[in-house]
Structure 1
């Protein structure tokens, strides 16, 4: 198994005549204890099909492969793909893809979906998990889109920007509470496992990072009648989260509700006139969304 230390990376990159690609958000985790913490936190066994986005040198991939039933690992950078291929050549349960994991910000690359689906079908009683040291520039769409994917993840353990982790776990009235917080918490528990300084990466990023574990709660998820509607509606009313909620609903439902209809919704929810979006916890947001959805089932965010 390779030991992804700073000296190892510098040596291998020099041999290949390459440098870390900032456009791909390449910050390699060089603390081997943190590699283990990431994989340990995922609680893997032979049932698990793991998606890893950002293969890098393949160091974490090897640890995942030792424990999981199958791994689909995705690397956009051709040089990294070549380097990792040498490390993973004998790993029969690893499928490597040299593609962009995302087709666009809202959708995964079909090749990734096909590969994960094939592995899930090949293991009886399989569970789908994400385990990854995610590049900062794609962390939000990767994690957010997986919550509405064809294959519902059992859990996601990812190294991401600390700020993003705090937004995912944030509570009402806090500075980080947002539509993203509601989107994760309406269907999962979010735990910040470890905060990490820039020094545990090479090259060092300019901000702190976090290992974040998200575990899907099937009961919470089943209690959301229309996930897509909830996602769209909460994004719309959180655009100006510190404004009064009434103004946000008026803006979101422009052309669908008149102001009198918005006032009816506010009255039925027993909201005070000065309530703000940032005050609403997830159960209240769910109730509000359903009230709006019943009146405007075909509404979509512009």
Structure 2
């Protein structure tokens, strides 16, 4: 297969009568070295079951397959799925699924997860599940977060290209404008680093913003410390919906039917948090401690029903709203 240069892609697309579709966030890497950087960052090898979302013309897919990985390439665009199949023809270690990788913004499609499980079942001891992909911008955050929080199959490493702004949010620290629920959730469960910043010129068509190659490594010890991941996710979703309000006011607003103001002040004291602390300035450790204390206190409340969700919550788990009140 020819290297995926701009000239090669233009000729290929013209011959096939297709064009990149903005609707699906299709921006193809045309720098000849970057596929190698992504594969190296993903540490791809023969013991891996690799999920690739948005394989496009299949250059990265083929490279990972040639390294012996079992690749599950998920492509929503029928025309691109056809190109991917053509690129990996004759390679039995690649499965191409023509479908949306997401069932909705809060869930990976069951068919995709079933394909991963089938790959892992070949050798459940030796095989490792990874996400390695040039992710379409429009699905990057839900793909990353849904895989990160999933109980099974557990992803061991994610090496992806994403929008620079999303990468900045993931590695942001307390007190910065980029710090939010995505920063906290990721760093409560994993370590993350930006491998390289990518200018628009390395893609075709050129996006309007910079991108990044990022590596996220889920940490079993952090997950154990966190405990109930779904509960923690619901707590940070709520407090970052009102990131600039003091935490006492936020908690009272959400849990006034179960906890008194005195209860809330007491649990904040136990968590060693000032009542006027704000979510945007709290560390990951402080938020983990708050979630634990809050769950303990709610479980002791006489009218606690065990439901961590609320109709007040946004349907999009990590969409953040600023509230200056």
TM-score range, shorter chain: over 0.9
CA distance in 2, matches of 1:58, 1:80: 8
- 1:84-99 to 2 correspondences below 5 Å: 84-99=84-99
CA distance in 2, matches of 1:15, 1:299: 55
- Is the counterpart of residue 121 in structure 1 residue 121 in structure 2? yes
Q: What is aligned with 1:301?
A: 309
- 1:1-302 to 2 correspondences below 5 Å: 1-123=1-123, 124-149=125-150, 150-297=152-299, 298-302=306-310
- 1:259 Cα offset (Å): 2.1
Equivalent pair of 1:50/1:68 in contact (CA under 8 Å): no
CA distance in 2, matches of 1:79, 1:251: 49
- 1:192 Cα offset (Å): 0.4
- 1:48 Cα offset (Å): 0.8
CA distance in 2, matches of 1:102, 1:87: 24
CA distance in 1, matches of 2:170, 2:253: 25
- 1:166 Cα offset (Å): 0.8
Deviates more, 1:287-296 or 1:260-269: 260-269
Size of the aligned set, in residue pairs, is 302
CA distance in 1, matches of 2:284, 2:236: 10
Equivalent pair of 1:237/1:252 in contact (CA under 8 Å): no
CA distance in 1, matches of 2:284, 2:116: 31
- 1:68 Cα offset (Å): 4.0
RMSD of equivalent CA atoms: 1.3
Shift >4 Å, 4+ stretches: none
Alpha-carbon spacing, 1:68–1:247, altered in 2? closer, same or farther (3 Å): farther
So what's the TM-score if we normalise by structure 1? 0.97
Structure 2 alignment gaps of length 5 or more: 300-305, 311-325
CA distance in 1, matches of 2:129, 2:271: 38
User: Helix, strand or coil for the counterpart of 1:32?
Assistant: coil
CA distance in 1, matches of 2:15, 2:175: 52
So what's the TM-score if we normalise by structure 2? 0.90
Q: What is aligned with 2:321?
A: none
Equivalent pair of 2:57/2:83 in contact (CA under 8 Å): yes
User: Helix, strand or coil for the counterpart of 2:272?
Assistant: coil
Equivalent pair of 2:38/2:213 in contact (CA under 8 Å): yes
- 1:272 Cα offset (Å): 2.4
- 1:47 Cα offset (Å): 1.2
Structure 1 alignment gaps of length 5 or more: none
Equivalent pair of 2:267/2:297 in contact (CA under 8 Å): no
CA distance in 2, matches of 1:176, 1:240: 15
> 1:131-153: per-residue Cα shift (whole Å, max 9, x none)?
00000000000000001222111
CA distance in 1, matches of 2:68, 2:290: 41
CA distance in 2, matches of 1:44, 1:18: 30
Equivalent pair of 1:233/1:301 in contact (CA under 8 Å): no
Equivalent pair of 2:265/2:275 in contact (CA under 8 Å): no
